[in-house]
């Protein structure tokens, strides 16, 4: 059975997602870009403020923080440019979109942070081992600058964090991590300057080392997280959610393989499921649609592809034989499959429907292929009898005038009342190449079994034909009675 592809929303099967697909719309994109641009301006302001204050006061901690903010400035610029790439719609060369540009930007930010931490740690160690030759002049305005820096750090941390959560942006999340490390680094520098002003100048260099450690920790976490995404590591929570959604939507379907990866806040899910081997193509497609909808409900904005395969024939002998026959090219329909036990050994008979225009020789070859396929799949069968039928073409039909079938209608209604105790739910007549056809719908008790309903339908057909010989065919459709209330 061929794969059934399920793409996002109204995307044609196998096509690229629409630009607006996924959790982000045009409004979210603009918010993300504005947030990234705000980060650029904030980082530029802090670099200038910290660097001037650090050079004038001689504080290595402030200079280190200026370098840290300088990397943030470069990183924020990189993020802004990467976001402009990431929001581009999928195209022929990038069918999965450009979302990983954000993760590349975040990885670049991590590299900048590592370089910054090495520079800060080196300068701090030089100052700590160089004696008291470096004087720190911590004045009131220096502390005022740190107060302004703290206010900016806290505000941009909150803004970036909220935007990252709302819009599922890893690039903005990485900016929030940087801003948090900035805030803690600023607190460390503030404490170091307080001790330096109290007569312990080494405290400033120690504060610089603290900043370096914070930078390294943030960089390692950031790089590890984004490397996992770039290497298509499976997001455990998303995979568990997709697996549970598939199980709840189609509990009787075998899940053979599930692959989940993520990029730029969007999950890509590929599932392979097995359906009964005698299931029709339409049934397989319905299963794929059901799974697609269930996964999307659990993971909004996901791109889902479902591949449907025939399962292993483990049912009874009749089901296994039907499934084997349907695997032969050219077979359109298999019905009337019967198993007869002859002296303890099973024999099989079935009807095959093949294209009406097929030559007898070709039809015989297909029948032989069916028998061989059944012998392979059901080796316990000792003999197979196949009956070949042409696939019926569409026949001309018409609806007769009511006056022309008044007597037949009276008979049909009387038979239905006698057997079911009620009037037909629906009754129509058609004329076709086979003669006069009755299309009859009756309601039966919902508690009846399928066998009981079939017996009623068969008895209706027999009585109607006996009492109305002009009727050539009776097709009875049974429906359960509606529950009261």
For the chain, which residues make up each domain, given as ranges? 26-230, 236-310, 317-390, 402-480
pLDDT confidence of residue 225 = 74
Contact, 478 vs 448, CB < 8 A?
no
Among 92, 266, 78, CA closest to 169:
266
Q: Residue 255: beta bridge partners?
A: 273
List of the chain residues with pLDDT < 50: 1-26, 132, 314, 485
pLDDT confidence of residue 176 = 76
**Encoded tokens for 3:** 């794969």
* DSSP single-letter state for residue 231: T
Which CATH superfamily hosts domain 402-480? Cation efflux protein, cytoplasmic domain (3.30.70.1350)
Contact, 164 vs 28, CB < 8 A?
no
Q: At CA 168, angle to CA 163 and CA 171, rounded to 5?
A: 75
- Cα separation of 392 and 1, whole Å? 24
Among 265, 223, 224, CA closest to 105:
223
Helices (H) and strands (E) in the chain, counts: 12, 9
Q: At CA 351, angle to CA 350 and CA 352, rounded to 5?
A: 120
- Cα separation of 47 and 29, whole Å? 27
**Encoded tokens for 23:** 């959790």
Buried b (16+ CB within 10 A) or exposed e, 226-247: beebeeeeebeebbebbbebbe
* CB-based contacts of 193, cutoff 8 Å, min separation 6: 57, 59, 61, 62, 136, 138, 142, 143, 146, 203, 204, 207
**Residue 371, CB half-sphere, CA atoms under 13 Å: how many?**
16
CATH of domain 236-310: 3.30.70.1350
Q: For tokens 């629906």, what's the residue?
A: 426
- Cα separation of 115 and 101, whole Å? 22
Q: Residue 262: beta bridge partners?
A: 267
Q: How many CB atoms lie within 10 A of CB 387?
A: 12
Alpha helices in 168-303 (DSSP H): 170-197, 202-230, 236-249, 281-298
- Cα separation of 103 and 172, whole Å? 10
pLDDT confidence of residue 10 = 32
Domain 26-230 CATH assignment equals 3.40.50.2300? no
Q: How many CB atoms lie within 10 A of CB 95?
A: 12
End-to-end CA distance of the chain: 44
Phi/psi-derived region of residue 478, left when phi > 0, alpha when psi is between -120 and 50, beta in every other case: beta
pLDDT confidence of residue 5 = 35
Domain 317-390 CATH assignment equals 3.30.70.1350? yes
**Residue 455, CB half-sphere, CA atoms under 13 Å: how many?**
5
Rg (CA), the chain: 38
Cα 459 to Cα 164, 424, 454, 470, 480, distances in angstroms: 69, 15, 9, 18, 18
- Which tens digits make up the pLDDT trace of 342-381? 777 888 888 888 887 888 888 889 989 999 999 888 888 8
Q: What number of residues does the chain have?
A: 485
Predicted TM-score of the model (pTM): 0.45
3-state helix vs strand vs coil in the chain, percent to 5: 55, 20, 25
* DSSP single-letter state for residue 144: H
CA dihedral 288, 294, 297, 302 (to 10 degrees): -40
Tell me if 26-230 shares its fold with 317-390: no
* CB-based contacts of 211, cutoff 8 Å, min separation 6: 61, 64, 65, 68, 120, 185, 188, 189
């Amino acid at each position: 059975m061929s794969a059934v592809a399920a793409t996002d929303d109204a995307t044609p099967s196998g096509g690229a997602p629409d630009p607006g697909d996924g959790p982000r719309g045009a409004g979210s994109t603009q918010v993300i870009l504005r947030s990234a641009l705000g980060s650029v301006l904030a980082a530029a302001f802090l670099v200038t403020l910290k660097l001037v204050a650090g050079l004038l006061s001689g504080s290595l901690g402030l200079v280190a923080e200026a370098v840290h903010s300088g990397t943030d400035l470069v990183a924020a610029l990189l993020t802004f440019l990467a976001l402009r790439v990431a929001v581009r719609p999928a195209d022929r060369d990038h069918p999965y979109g450009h979302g990983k540009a954000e993760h590349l930007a975040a990885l670049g930010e991590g590299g900048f942070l590592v370089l910054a931490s090495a520079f800060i740690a080196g300068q701090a160690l030089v100052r700590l081992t160089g004696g008291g030759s470096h004087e720190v002049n911590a004045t009131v305005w220096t502390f005022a600058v740190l107060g302004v820096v703290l206010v900016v750090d806290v505000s941009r941390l909150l803004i970036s964090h909220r935007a990252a959560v709302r819009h599922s942006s890893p690039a903005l999340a990485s900016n929030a991590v940087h801003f948090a490390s900035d805030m803690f680094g600023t607190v460390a520098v503030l404490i170091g300057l307080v001790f330096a002003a109290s007569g312990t100048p080494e405290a400033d260099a120690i504060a610089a080392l603290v900043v370096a450690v914070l930078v390294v920790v943030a960089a390692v976490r950031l790089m590890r997280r984004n490397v996992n995404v770039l290497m298509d590591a499976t997001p455990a929570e998303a995979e568990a959610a997709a697996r549970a959604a598939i199980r709840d939507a189609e509990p009787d379907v075998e899940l053979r393989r599930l692959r989940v990866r993520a990029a730029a806040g969007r999950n890509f899910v590929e599932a392979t499921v097995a359906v009964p081997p005698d299931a029709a193509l339409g049934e397989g497609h319905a299963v794929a649609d059901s799974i697609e909808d269930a996964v999307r409900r659990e993971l909004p904005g996901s791109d889902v592809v479902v591949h449907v395969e025939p399962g292993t024939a483990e049912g009874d002998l009749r089901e296994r034989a039907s499934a084997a026959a349907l695997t032969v090219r050219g077979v359109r329909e298999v019905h009337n499959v019967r198993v007869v036990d002859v002296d303890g050994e099973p024999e099989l008979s079935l009807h095959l429907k093949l294209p009406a225009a097929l030559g007898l020789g070709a039809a015989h070859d297909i029948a032989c292929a069916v028998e061989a396929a059944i012998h392979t799949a059901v080796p316990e069968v000792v003999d197979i009898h196949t009956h070949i039928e042409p696939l019926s073409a569409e026949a001309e039909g018409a609806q007769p005038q009511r006056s022309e079938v008044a007597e037949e209608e009276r008979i049909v209604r009387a038979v239905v009342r006698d057997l079911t105790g009620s009037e037909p739910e629906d009754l129509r007549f058609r004329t076709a190449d086979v003669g006069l056809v009755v299309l009859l719908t009756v309601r039966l008790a919902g508690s009846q079994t399928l066998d009981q309903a079939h017996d009623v339908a068969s008895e209706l057909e027999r009585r109607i034909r006996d009492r109305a010989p002009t009727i050539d065919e009776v097709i009875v459709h049974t429906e359960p009675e509606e529950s009261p209330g």
